Amino acid sequence: MLIRPLEKIYGKLGKWLVPLLLLFFFVFSSALLYSNVQQRQVDYKEGQVADKSIRANKTIENTEATQQKRKLAAESVAPEYTFDEDAGTKQSQLIEHLFTLISQVEEETKAENEKRQKAAKKGTEPQLITLDEEIAALKKHFEQIDSDNLAFYQRIPNNFFQIVFQLSAEEQATVKNEAIRIILTQMKNPIRINRLNEVRQNAYDEASFLNLSTDQTQAIRYMLNQGIVINSVLNEKRTEELQQEAMNAVQPVMIFQGEVIVREGSQIDSNVIQKLNLLGMTNQSTSLFPFIAMVLANILEVFVLLYFIRQLKGQERRVVAIVFYTTMMTLSMVFMKFFQIFQENTSQFIPLLFPAAFIPLVLNVFISRRTGVIAALFQVVMAAFIFYDSIGTNVLTIILISYLFSGLMGTLLDRKRISKQGLSSIVWIVLFPLVMNTILIVYQGMSFTDSRAWVNLIASFAGSILSLVLTIGLHPYIELLVTDNSIIVLNELSNPNHPLLKQLLEEAPGTYHHSMMVANLSANAVAEIGGHSLLTRVACYYHDIGKLKHANFFVENLPDGAENPHNFLLPSDSKQIIFGHVIDGAAILEQHRMPQMVIDICRQHHGTTLMKFFYFKAKERNPDIAESEYRYPGPIPQTREAAVVSIADSCEAAVRAMDHPTNQKIKEFVTNLIQDRLLDGQLDDSGLTMKEIKIIQKSLVNGLCSTFHSRIKYPKMESEAVEMKQEQERRDYNGN
């Protein structure tokens, strides 16, 4: 039902109202979302301060960072060494062989010298073999040594040979044995190149404490220097294998779509530039596809609305649905935009404070359940664009699923005032969404020891509570925007100080009292069948307002003893006056801009019933008179509330006119009247079921009996009053 301002706009624009409204909604939505998905020209440079948070536009491997991590992993691998346990034995064997050769050379020298002495002439000194010749003879023997071992002997300095050839056999044996012993001792453990000098020095020190001659000690030092070698060699192949394994174990460093590369206000450094280069974001235009998708989504929403309203009956209902939907969705997008701004500057979970269930819930209650479902779905679609900068992050997943779940929960509530649904509304709007958000936290792998998990839960819980509170608190004011029979309006109209009610009381007191009685009867009956009780009461207050025009022509307003003025009128004239109170009443109510349903009940409260008294009176004068001429203009009641008022109005007037009404007489009359209305087809369009009619009948009978039936006299009341008076006198006497 169109409210007055909307009715004026619709009157001016007519069929153009809906297209213009949808066009405005499309333009506004697109303009509101444009800043989130617009194509931007970016040119980031090192040292520049980011004017907004920059997020990755795609998922890609950070190859440079991956290589750095793999290099570090390879460098962290300990080198693999091979320990040659036989190296000491091999060195000792070489020394053993050396001294064997030395002994052999000395024997050869001795034999040669003896030979020369025998061959020398008497009186002349023989030319003996010199030390240098001995050393030369020893090195001659080296030519027979295997090439693999030759290097060992070649590196021995001449000083060693000069010393050792001057030593006795026993001294040479001591040098040999001690050198071999020290070498074997030192080379039992791994010797790497970095420890070679240290081990040799330890060996030198040990040789110094052997209490040998200087030449022996020096000879041993020469042997130690030559015999102690590296016996733990780097295994390059195995080391390379371990390094490769370590590098292969390193996971690629990924830049995920939606990941924050640099936050607003932070300086862009070389690392950021490297990532932006990799993403191709340093000097380019952002993608145009999100903007195109946003426009297409808004177009889809408009076409969905157009297809939906085609299924609604009545142009007024279509206009109200479109106006209210577009208004609520515009409000929803503005709120989401507000939370998106705060998300950038504070917590990423701030958008969960958005009351996602509010808009679908309100549309469900005031328009239809399907409207609420459409709003819940497109609310999520719009959120995907509003929070576009969060794409690729876990936060967006939580936001969208939370909005969708909360919105759809709002459409599952009954289509009645939320404050009357109690625990059910808390379960649907608060409890279930909270459980879903907990599930999302578990799904994302967030720990409940993490403060972010609790911020998520608290924000979503607050958003659900906000949805519930807003719906309950704003319900009366939203009614003012959607319908002309809101609670606020009805409460104002039910005020006895309303000008029309005051006029009715002053000019037609009987009608006023009759209206009050009908209001009580009707409101109680409507409440028992789950109808709009307050609206029914207010409609009853004004249903006979048309009697103000000819108040004295209605019997309830005649003073006692006054003669009925219809006795002086023709039936046709009386008919016009009686019919007039319905037509005049509707005109008065329209003039005072009453709710349409109040006007409708005024028109329908007599339906097309027959005005029997004047019809039969006219039939006495003219037997050919048509019954249709004495039926009310109608229409018949179109709602349950109008049907109840129609029955209650007739019952109250008839029972009031009864002589000594009893419970039985009242019950029989109400039953017969309802039966007559059913047979006459007056309740065909009301939507009442037989079960509801029985409930209405019982309620009206109880109400009429309690009002008009004589009260029972209680014989004991006089004696009880006397006893109470005597008791009070005794208290007063004792008190004095």
- First CA to last CA distance, the chain: 71
The pLDDT value recorded for residue 734 is 55
Q: How many CB atoms lie within 10 A of CB 657?
A: 10
The dihedrals phi and psi of 638, each to the nearest 5 degrees, come to -100, -10
531, 483, 515, 630: which is closest to 571 by C-alpha? 630
Write the burial class of residue 690 (CB in 10 Å: 0-12 exposed, 13-18 middle, 19+ buried).
exposed
Run of H or E including 11: helix 4-13
d(CA 238, CA 465): 65
* DSSP type of residue 350: G
Whether 664 and 555 have beta carbons less than 8 Å apart is answered as: no
pTM tops 0.75 = no
Cis peptide bond upstream of 635, omega within 30: yes
DSSP letter string, 180-237? HHHHHHHTTS---GGGHHHHHHHHHHHHHTT---HHHHHHHHHHHHHH----EEE-HH
d(CA 704, CA 702): 6
d(CA 197, CA 157): 18
d(CA 329, CA 327): 6
Give 613-665 pLDDT, tens digit per residue.
Answer: 888 888 888 888 888 888 888 899 999 999 999 999 989 888 888 878 888 88
Using CA of residue 396, residue 400, residue 405, residue 409, what is the dihedral sign? positive
Give 285-316 pLDDT, tens digit per residue.
Answer: 556 788 888 899 999 999 998 888 888 877 77
The pLDDT value recorded for residue 736 is 45
Residue numbers in the chain where pLDDT is lower than 50: 1-2, 345, 710-718, 735-736
360, 364, 343: which is closest to 352 by C-alpha? 343
The pLDDT value recorded for residue 1 is 46
The pLDDT value recorded for residue 518 is 92
Give 179-188 pLDDT, tens digit per residue.
Answer: 999 999 988 9
d(CA 237, CA 244): 11
Q: Which residue is it, tokens 């992050």?
A: 393
Q: How far is CA 45 from CA 42, 49, 267, 276, 636, in A?
A: 10, 9, 10, 10, 79
